[in-house]
Amino acid sequence: MRRRHTTRGTGPTGKNWAVCAALALALVAGCDSVQEGGTTSSGSAGAGGGDASAAPADGRAVSPLSNPDGTKPGLAAVTGDDRTAARDLIEQLRTKGRGPKTGYDRDEFGYAWMDTAEGVPFARNGCDTRNDVLQRDGEEVRFKSGSDCVVVSMTLDDPYTARTIEWRKQDAAEVQIDHVVPLSYSWQMGSSRWPESKRRQLANDPLNLLPVDGTANSAKGDSGPAAWLPPSKRIRCAYAVRFAQVAVKYELPVTTADRSALARQCGG
């Protein structure tokens, strides 16, 4: 955010800038007000483990409570009275112990990223799931020449870290598509017994997909909420709501520890 330097009754503005610059050269503190900064792909309030709770406004992002099918962009913070509705949703979750990962393979959920998973938004629209959600959440989206599907650049306001990422396809891993309820987690909680068609739905449902900072997504892995939460504290209740929305939709239980962790994010 650009910070403004103002001068009150102390002479010409140019003179004050010169004085401040001289002081800076003399290593005297007190000139911070003339610095300029901003959130870019190379730094942010949420990077490096800092608390991003003072993140900027949500912009285009929509609260998950107003986006039950996942077709609207982003993940806006859940605040105020909406936290009561968030806790009510989380209380609907069933719990069970986490089973073994035996037999898990990404291919059990269909190839990534398919356009043919039945029963989910954006299916069979001529564009694969990854590019669908990049278009949904990105701003200033640009496409490959001759295509209205393949995204080659965009600006992403990452909900997990509060970074603004200027993404280019040549640095593809900088933005990754997170399965909010990880596929491996779902496997251990019961999706191993689902028909493959239902697993394909979970893997390609925009409700369960968010383009996010690649480093944060890699750190998450297949962790449940008791083990991993977004670095931005401001967004954690919204993340809890989205996790619960997916679990409720697919009748997927969570561990007792995970349900407790979800409830705490929304004041429960």
Question: Domain extents for the chain?
Answer: 13-37, 52-265
* Per-residue pLDDT at 36 exceeds 60: no
**pLDDT of 192:** 98
**pLDDT of 267:** 95
Adjacent-strand bridge partners of 154:
167
- Amino acid making up residue 62: V
Closest CA to 166 of 178, 152, 150, 153: 153
Average pLDDT value for the chain: 84
* Per-residue pLDDT at 200 exceeds 60: yes
Whole-model pTM: value is 0.79
Q: Which residue has the higher pLDDT, 9 or 149?
A: 149
**pLDDT of 57:** 52
**Per the structure block, which two tokens stand in for 64?**
């998950």
**pLDDT, mean of residues 115-124:** 96
Q: Kindly provide the b/e burial profile for residues 10-45, where b requires at least 16 CB atoms within 10 angstroms of the residue's own CB.
A: eeeeeeeeeebeeeeeeeeeebeeeeeeebebeebb
- Convert the pLDDT of each residue in 52-77 to its tens digit: 333 445 679 999 999 999 999 999 99
* Per-residue pLDDT at 261 exceeds 60: yes
**pLDDT of 184:** 98
Residue 145 exposed, middle or buried by CB count within 10 Å (0-12, 13-18, 19+)? exposed
Q: Which residue has the higher pLDDT, 204 or 53?
A: 204
* Per-residue pLDDT at 10 exceeds 80: no
Closest CA to 45 of 161, 213, 166: 161
- Whether the CB-CB separation of 156 and 165 falls below 8 Å is answered with yes
**pLDDT of 22:** 40
